[in-house]
């Protein structure tokens, strides 16, 4: 375990952010690789990837529910030097992750056709989305155990193993994606590699499903290696069957913290559904442009998301250890870093959006739609960075309801006006993007106001309080 209640807060922030950024960079790189290869199959294939890929928001929501609760409770226990309590939460979290994945598998495959048909602009896009879905959903389900294990490590300040395994997973995906998409038939580029491969084996062209299958295999390998790491190398938290029997009290504590955080991603999923529902009338090119733009924006947000993941355990351990001064120092440092990073990225995106789109599509319409989207949403990058970071501070403290309220405020400000705008004569997509920017700015203001109130309330520790380290009741 890494003790985050000692040493330089800034150093902890930067070192943990660096490890998280590398891991998240390769994670997003693997999404962009799929997008790059699939892009050569046409705009319908790109649109299908975006539609099926939107389910990532649901999985992120559920893994966030489990991961945030896990990180918060284990970091609080670590700050209190309560190893037994940390190990109990770890085992309970792992069991919950498996059960939730199984339930989602049943629901996901049952609703596959309805979901893909309702969001696709045409029959071809719907068929491609369904074929991608068949392997993409199993790949997403493997994120549950991986997320539970990674959250446990992050709560203890351990970042390197997760990052290394993500890099290995991405390397495997980079190799498999073109092989499974195009088989041993001619490739758009690197055809010499294909010719060498064809000497030894004949692989059929799978097309869009091949991208999802490559992801599934890569994530499966990462899961196996992560389990081996816990079994062989990491002994602070061990798998113990005696601690895996469901304990309602522990599940309740995890979910009270995790459900609001996960619900934020569900709200984001509804936001994406509304957008896809509106732009479907503009055709596959508009859907593809938004899909590419959203993936590019996700990649650009990597630094601030990595920072937010680092903030939560640092705040959590110091809050658990009753170090109010270090919690405040972490808050101020993190918000300043987030604002500075996102300002630079916003400037780059605003000035050259087309440069960020064209590697993934040569279609002029796709580039035009995607560029317009990126140039406008760049205006809310700083606000989004502050929202991500402040939400993670709430997670570290253990109260995730305030950022959920601000997210609901944003969706409410966006959803109804967007639907009404879409029905007006002469409606243009840029109106939708400007509305998104305004709602994000308001969300930032609400988040900061609520955070100020929360810090004043929660950091007034009673100095006469009899605090005993190692006490499970101190959580």
pLDDT band at 238 (very low <50, low <70, confident <90, very high): confident
pLDDT band at 5 (very low <50, low <70, confident <90, very high): confident
Q: What is the pLDDT of residue 475?
A: 32
Angle at CA 325, nearest 5°, toward 319 and 326? 60
Q: State the helix-helix crossing angle for 112-119 and 83-110, rounded to 10 degrees.
A: 70
Phi then psi dihedrals of residue 233, to 5 deg: -115, -40
- Mean pLDDT in residue range 261-277: 82
pLDDT band at 340 (very low <50, low <70, confident <90, very high): very high
Contact yes or no for 357/292 (Cβ under 8 A): yes
- Mean pLDDT in residue range 64-77: 89
Contact yes or no for 396/314 (Cβ under 8 A): yes
pLDDT band at 221 (very low <50, low <70, confident <90, very high): very high
- Mean pLDDT in residue range 4-27: 77
Q: Kindly report the average pLDDT of the chain as a whole number.
A: 85
pLDDT band at 361 (very low <50, low <70, confident <90, very high): confident
pLDDT in tens, 440-459: 999 999 999 999 999 999 88
- Mean pLDDT in residue range 137-162: 88
Given a cut of 60, whether residue 356 has pLDDT beyond it is yes
In this structure, the number of other CB atoms found within 10 A of the CB of residue 424 comes to: 8
Given a cut of 60, whether residue 17 has pLDDT beyond it is yes
Q: What is the pLDDT of residue 339?
A: 95
- Mean pLDDT in residue range 214-242: 89
Q: Please give the Cα distance from 192 to 276 (Å, whole number).
A: 39
Nearest to 20 by CA among 455, 389, 403, 444: 389
pLDDT in tens, 372-400: 999 999 999 999 999 999 999 998 898 88
Q: What is the pLDDT of residue 196?
A: 64
Q: Please give the Cα distance from 277 to 54 (Å, whole number).
A: 13
Q: Phi-psi region for residue 190, left (φ > 0), alpha (ψ -120 to 50) or beta? A: left
- Mean pLDDT in residue range 177-200: 68
Given a cut of 90, whether residue 353 has pLDDT beyond it is yes
- Mean pLDDT in residue range 325-347: 94
Q: Please give the Cα distance from 131 to 385 (Å, whole number).
A: 35
Q: Which one is predicted more confidently, 98 or 285?
A: 98
In this structure, the number of other CB atoms found within 10 A of the CB of residue 303 comes to: 21
pLDDT band at 406 (very low <50, low <70, confident <90, very high): very high
pLDDT band at 186 (very low <50, low <70, confident <90, very high): low
Q: What is the pLDDT of residue 463?
A: 46
Global model pTM greater than 0.85: no
Given a cut of 50, whether residue 474 has pLDDT beyond it is no
Phi then psi dihedrals of residue 399, to 5 deg: -125, 100
Q: Which one is predicted more confidently, 340 or 310?
A: 340
Nearest to 92 by CA among 254, 262, 316, 320: 254
Q: Phi-psi region for residue 426, left (φ > 0), alpha (ψ -120 to 50) or beta? A: left
Nearest to 60 by CA among 34, 17, 28: 28
C-alpha to C-alpha distances, 39 to 33, 176, 215, 279, 289, nearest whole angstrom: 10, 16, 16, 19, 11
Contact yes or no for 70/315 (Cβ under 8 A): no
Residues in the chain: 475
Given a cut of 70, whether residue 469 has pLDDT beyond it is no
pLDDT band at 39 (very low <50, low <70, confident <90, very high): confident
Q: Which of 115-124, 275-284, 325-334 has the highest mean pLDDT?
A: 325-334
In terms of C-beta density within 10 A (0-12 exposed, 13-18 middle, 19 or more buried), how is residue 456 classed?
exposed
Q: Which one is predicted more confidently, 442 or 465?
A: 442
C-alpha to C-alpha distances, 32 to 28, 50, 287, 392, nearest whole angstrom: 6, 11, 16, 26
Given a cut of 80, whether residue 462 has pLDDT beyond it is no
Structure tokens at 168: 């290995």
Its sign, for the CA torsion 92, 473, 60, 173, is negative
SS (H, E, C) the chain: CCCCCCCCHHHHHHHHHHHHHHHHHHHHHHHHHHHHHHHCCCHHHHHHHHHHHCCHHHHHHHHHHHHHHHHHHHHHHHHCCCHHHHHHHHHHHHHHHHHHHHHHHHHHHHCHHHHHHHHCCCHHHHHHHHHHHHHHHHHHHCHHHHHHHHHHHHHCCCCHHHHHHHHHHHHHHHHHHHHHHHCCCCCCCCHHHHHHHHHHCCCCCCCHHHHHHHHHHHHHHHHHHHHHHHHHCCCCCCCCHHHCCCCHHHHHHHHHHHHHHHHHHHHHHHHHHHHHHHHHHHCHHHHHHHHHHHHHHHHHCHHHHHHHHHHHHHHHHHHHCCCHHHHHHHHHHHHHHHHHHHHHHHHHHHHCHHHHHHHHCCCHHHHHHHHHHHHHHHHHHHHHHHHHHHHHHHHHHCCCHHHHHHHHHHHHHHHHHHHHHHCCCCCCHHHHHHHHHHHHHHHHHHHHHHHHHHHHHHCCCCCCCCCCCCCHHHC
Q: Please give the Cα distance from 420 to 401 (Å, whole number).
A: 29
């Amino acid at each position: 375990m890494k003790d985050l209640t000692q040493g330089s807060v800034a150093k902890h922030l930067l070192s943990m952010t660096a490890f998280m950024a590398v891991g998240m960079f390769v994670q997003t790189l693997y999404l962009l690789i799929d997008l790059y290869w699939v892009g050569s199959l046409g705009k319908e294939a790109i649109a299908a990837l975006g539609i099926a890929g939107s389910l990532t928001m649901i999985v992120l929501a559920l893994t966030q529910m489990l991961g945030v609760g896990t990180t918060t409770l284990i970091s609080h226990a670590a700050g209190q030097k309560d190893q037994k309590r940390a190990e109990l939460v770890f085992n309970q979290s792992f069991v919950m992750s498996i059960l939730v994945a199984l339930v989602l598998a049943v629901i996901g495959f049952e609703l596959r056709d309805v979901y893909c048909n309702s969001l696709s602009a045409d029959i071809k896009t719907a068929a491609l989305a369904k074929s991608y879905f068949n392997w993409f959903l199993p790949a997403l389900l493997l994120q549950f155990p991986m997320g539970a294990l990674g959250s446990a490590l992050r709560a203890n300040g351990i970042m390197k193993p997760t990052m290394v395994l993500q890099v290995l997973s991405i390397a495997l995906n980079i190799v498999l994606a073109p092989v499974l998409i195009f088989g041993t038939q001619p490739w758009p580029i690197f055809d010499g590699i294909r010719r060498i491969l064809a000497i030894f084996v004949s692989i059929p062209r799978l097309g869009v499903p091949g991208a999802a299958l490559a992801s599934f295999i890569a994530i499966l390998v990462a899961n196996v290696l992560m389990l081996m790491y816990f079994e062989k190398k990491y002994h602070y938290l061990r798998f113990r069957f005696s601690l895996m029997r469901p304990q309602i009290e522990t599940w309740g504590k995890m979910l009270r913290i995790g459900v609001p955080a996960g619900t934020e991603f569900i709200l984001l999923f509804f936001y994406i559904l509304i957008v896809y529902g509106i732009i479907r009338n503009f055709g596959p090119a508009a859907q593809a442009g938004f899909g590419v733009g959203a993936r590019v924006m996700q990649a650009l947000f990597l630094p601030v998301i990595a920072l937010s993941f680092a903030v939560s355990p640092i705040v959590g351990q110091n809050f658990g250890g009753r170090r109010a001064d270090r919690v405040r120092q972490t808050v101020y440092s993190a918000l300043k870093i987030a604002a500075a990073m996102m300002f630079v990225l916003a400037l780059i995106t605003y000035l050259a959006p087309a440069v960020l789109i064209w590697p993934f599509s040569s279609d002029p319409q796709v580039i035009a739609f995607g560029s317009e989207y990126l140039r406008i949403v760049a205006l809310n990058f700083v606000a989004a960075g502050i929202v991500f970071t402040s939400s993670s501070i709430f997670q570290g403290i253990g109260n995730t309801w305030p950022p959920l309220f601000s997210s609901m405020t944003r969706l409410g400000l966006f959803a109804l006006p967007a639907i009404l705008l879409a029905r007006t004569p002469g409606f243009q997509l840029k109106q939708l993007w400007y509305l998104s920017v305004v709602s994000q700015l308001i969300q930032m203001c609400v988040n900061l106001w609520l955070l100020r109130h929360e810090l004043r309330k929660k950091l007034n520790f009673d100095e006469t309080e009899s605090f005993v380290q190692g006490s499970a009741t101190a959580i």
